[in-house]
Chain A
Amino acid sequence: MSIRSKIVGWVVAVSAGAALAGCDSLENNIDVPLPSYSSELVVECYLEPGKVPSLTVTTTVPYLSPALPQLPDDVTVNLTLPDGTIVPLAFKPNYEVLLDTVSGIKFHTHIGRDALVARPGDVFKLEVTDSKGHRVTGTTTMLPPVPIDSLEYKFNDKTGVEREAYFLTNFRDPPTLNDCYRLQLHQGDPAKGALRREPEVDNSFEDRLLNGKPFVVGTSYRFDTGDTITATLYHTDAAFYRFRESVRDARNANGNPFAQPSAIYSTVQGGVGIFSVLSYTRATKIVL
């Protein structure tokens, strides 16, 4: 939890205490007339070596419009491979996953036919167009995966149900500048789909202050004996990191009076969204 979140929490606690004197609620529904808003295409595409490329194309909508996602069906998607081959991705939404809240399989609107071949250094391009004249483009390069050196854990000195372990992930940042990372820790058996579900820990960081040095990323005391922990370390570029940070800042600004709203820093041009090749390493450890 960020410092700022703590601060907000504290102020809310104070005001809640003050509310004892005021008796009724300090939060009320109001009507907010928002000005008109022009929609843009939203593209979300994460390529992965060995998997069939897919992506989701939606549109931005006025904030207070109905919640259903807007799926344009007039969108053409072309993926350009490193050798220049253009691969069209067909409009084939997997609507069935919209009713599936368990498996963790992601929804897509467009999908290719063949599994992707990608090596570090490969450059991919994306073009998304619709019949209204919108055109979204993007370019991404696959980064080399960064190996996880070791995983370790350590229990606290408590007993019974309070006995819990923290978890450490060790890796070394390469000497190149501007490397960014995203580390996810999933709890559970990977063979049973644990890696598709919500992670226990999901953090992003950059090497701005630790370039070329060892990283030790820890958690609080939160794991029990018998837990299977899988660490997935994504090596991302600065654009991916910045997109994710801007999404986080924009989300946090809604409901935080101290925050300054942030623009979304997309990695695509002509619309909103992210286009990236995922490059990761993975390791599993059981807490004993």
Chain B
Amino acid sequence: MVLSSAARCYLFVLLLSFGGPRVAWAQEVVRFTINGTVRGARGETLPGASVAVPALGTGTAADSLGRYSLNLPAGRHQLLVAFVGYQQVTRDINLTRNQRLSFALEESGNELGEVVVEGSVSLEQKLKTTQMGVEHLSIREAKLLPALFGEVDILKTLQLKPGVQSGGEGTSGLFVRGGSSDQNLVLIDNALVYNPNHLFGLFSVFNSDAVQSVDLYKSGFPAQFGGRLSSVVDVKMREGDRQHYVATGGVGLISSRLTYEGPINKGKGSFIVSGRRTYFDIFTRALNEANKNKEDYSPIPDYYFYDFNAKANYTLGEKDQIFLTGYLGRDTFGFNSPGGFNFDFSWGNTIGTLRWNHTFSPKLFVNTSVSVSDYKYNLTNRLDQFSFGLGSSITDYSARTDFEYTPDDRHVLKAGAQLTQHRFGVGRLEANSGDGRINFGSDVSYTGTDAALYASDNYKASDKLQLEGGLRLTGFRSGSDQYGGLEPRASARYSLSERTSLKASYALMYQYVHLVTNSGASLPTDIWYPSRLSVKPQRSQQTSAGVSFLLGRGKYLLTNEAYYKWGQNQVDFRDGAQLFVNPELDSEFIFGKSWSYGNEVYLEKKTGKTTGWIGYTLAWSWRNFQPQRGTNGVNNGEDFHPNYDRRHNLTVVALHQLNARINLTASFIYTSGSLTTLPLGRFGLQDIPGSRTGIDPRPVPIYPNRNSYQLIPYHRLDLGVVYKIGSRLNQDLTLSIYNAYNRRNAYFVFFEAVRDETTDRTTGFQAKQVSLFPIIPSLTYNFRF
């Protein structure tokens, strides 16, 4: 493979970081390493917690497992440990040898009359890190924000961050910097989640009671991540209370939750189990029963979803810890027609991960895991002796190991390997009859193997300059088809002053599995398909540059980031593509290119009684699919905007702690209207003799251009109040008001025939705009015992 110029530049940077300058720093100063973990008082890990030595102007952030390691000169130091939402801790140490020291931080907001911690460590970390385009969201933050139907949803909260668009009103799909929703790598405790949605995208699969935090990477992707083009959504599950047995839960408008957690062999480990179920079906069954005798009543199908999370961890010794994570979620949709036609439709993810952390030394950690991730849907019809089944699935068996080595306070080296075996059940169809007349089955399935090796170094060249470079070598094989690529990653931070940083990054990504859908929305019937035959891997590159300012004595961080992203082998499907159980599915793909660019301005405040952020994005997204494979391409081969392209996007999020009992929250969003395809022309079709009668047939629409019509701008204000009750503040009532000023946002537009009531003839056509959600107040009761 011929390396691109960008890759060659990157290699140069990488060699510099691993090699040359280290000689210059080999001074005769005795140094020792202090390492340990940062946890909350209940034992939960605190990824990203800051461990700093202010007097030396140095520090580090805990990794995703709450581990930290600092290499310091021998002698006395004062360590400052902090994490947003927790009370900071200072500790004096005398470092005379390598030392292990762990911290347990108390949550702020646990007691009446609490003092809110003022500080800016987290924003300082964001200022100083080389990582660009990353958003960290704690579940504490997400739980305070108002939510649709009162259902806390971390993916929808991420949509409030700059550069992230939703696919439509109330949906959880993420469209990051011009990428489509299937180009997001969604992980839960390192295991891949193929369909992160319930209810056709209206809710995410992540139960807020079971989630610790989520990190969203929009650019400058660390080398340990790969396989998707646009973003990484890294969800970490909670580990459970290491000190006490605790039950938490909530009763909401559409679902209830219950979580139980506690210590295992107190001090050695902990567990958490959490479940959630909706109860739409209880209401709709009652409604159907009440209306069953009405002739024109069409029964509402049964629908519910549930999910179940479990996690356990156990410390085997000072150097070893194991984690076991499980997730099971299902959506179930059932319909029994009066005509005897029944169908059941269920879909969901099943995920499991076993992880082992081993500390070789204070400078060297390894994290090894094996996981399984399965997504499937099944649709079955029954009528008398006849049955019909349709389904699809994807199952991954993965193993990965990740090393982290901190040789000194200037380098953090990471390296690792991943191997995934995919089983693509692209389509399965069965038809049977009790008398044996019909006995038919078809199964289209493939396998694929995905492998990756990576290495990276975060290199502190000086107090002002920090570089991070990585290389990821990836390969994919399905049958006799194999592909590979080298994915360079690079980012840099230069501090103009203590409060101003310049940053830049570059990343190349490959995606070897593709979502097969001809819908604009995420549907459970979407299929995953491997790179094989004519379907080559999707590829994208992104460059970004930005500047960050710490303002107001460190209380505010103002960031401006501009990006340009371009992709090849982007996939779409020919009109009328046969996507189900098609052994020649690859022939239904068409291929094109994409490019997007934009600028994001982001002001955030993380500490004090009032916190929140303001984000504004100005962006353009484009796609082009030339005529090919007997089609006119898309949009007759001309450039077009995908329907999630939004020129302007403004979000304002505010959380205010009125007192120890009451939190007030508000979020406001304004975006340019989404794009849609409307028919410009129509014609009449009478059809063959003996078909629908009359000379007034339904018009056939003609759609010459893709996404050429823009809906009205979308804006919405949500308000929330969290009122803590009980002497220990261990219960609360959360009031959410979604769409507080009852804005009629456009969900879609269609044309309806206007009919003359006397003659029942069509006299014209009227455009109609449909809105999905008006003002929706909801009340949720949450408890913790």
Contact = CB atoms under 8 A, between A and B. Distances in A.
The 3 closest A-B pairs by CB, nearest first: A22-B774, A220-B339, A255-B750
Nearest to B379: A3
Contacts of B12: none
Contact of B519 (A14, A260, A263): A260
Interface of B: 168, 200, 202, 280, 283-284, 298, 300-301, 303, 333, 335, 337, 339-341, 343, 345, 379, 383-384, 386, 429, 433, 437-438, 440, 442, 518-521, 523, 525, 575-576, 578, 581-582, 632, 677-686, 688-695, 698-704, 706, 708-709, 742, 744, 747-754, 760-777
A196 B690 contact: yes
B765 to A, nearest CB: 5
Given A7-B523, A34-B678, A18 B701 contact: no
A216 interface: yes
Contact of B575 (A61, A258, A263): A263
A186 B683 contact: no
Nearest to B767: A32
B701 A250 contact: yes
Given A3-B345, A56-B686, A258-B521, A35 B768 contact: no
A59 B681 CA distance: 10
Interface in A1-60: 3-4, 6-7, 9-11, 13-15, 17-19, 21-24, 26-32, 34-35, 37, 39, 42, 44, 46, 48, 56, 58-60
A272 interface: yes
Contact of B518 (A61, A166, A246, A260): A260
A62 B681 contact: yes
A23 B742 CA distance: 10
A10 B340 contact: no
A39 B437 contact: no
A30 B749 contact: yes
Nearest to B744: A28
A177 to B, nearest CB: 12
Given A23-B774, A257-B521, A262 B742 contact: no
Contacts of B301: 6, 9-10
A134 interface: no
A18 B774 contact: yes
Central interface residue in B301, B379, B685, B772, by most chain A CB within 10 Å? B685
B252 to A, nearest CB: 15
Interface stretch (A82-90, A96-104, A140-148): A96-104
B773 A18 contact: yes
Contacts of B341: 220
Contacts of B386: 216, 218
Interface in A222-250: 222, 232, 234, 242, 245-247, 249-250
B335 A6 contact: yes
A6 B301 CA distance: 8
Nearest to A262: B575
A250 B700 contact: yes
A198 B692 contact: yes
Given A60-B681, A64-B751, A64-B765, A216 B695 contact: no
A281 B704 CA distance: 38
Given A3-B345, A64-B767, A253-B703, A199 B691 contact: yes
B693 A21 contact: no
B686 A216 contact: no
A184 B687 CA distance: 12
A164 B518 CA distance: 37
A77 B773 CA distance: 53
B438 A216 contact: yes
Central interface residue in B202, B695, B764, by most chain A CB within 10 Å? B695
A79 interface: no
Contacts of A191: none
B339 A264 contact: no
Interface string A163-196: 0101000000000000000101010000000011
Contacts of A234: 688
Contacts of A278: 688
Contact of B682 (A46, A61, A98): A61
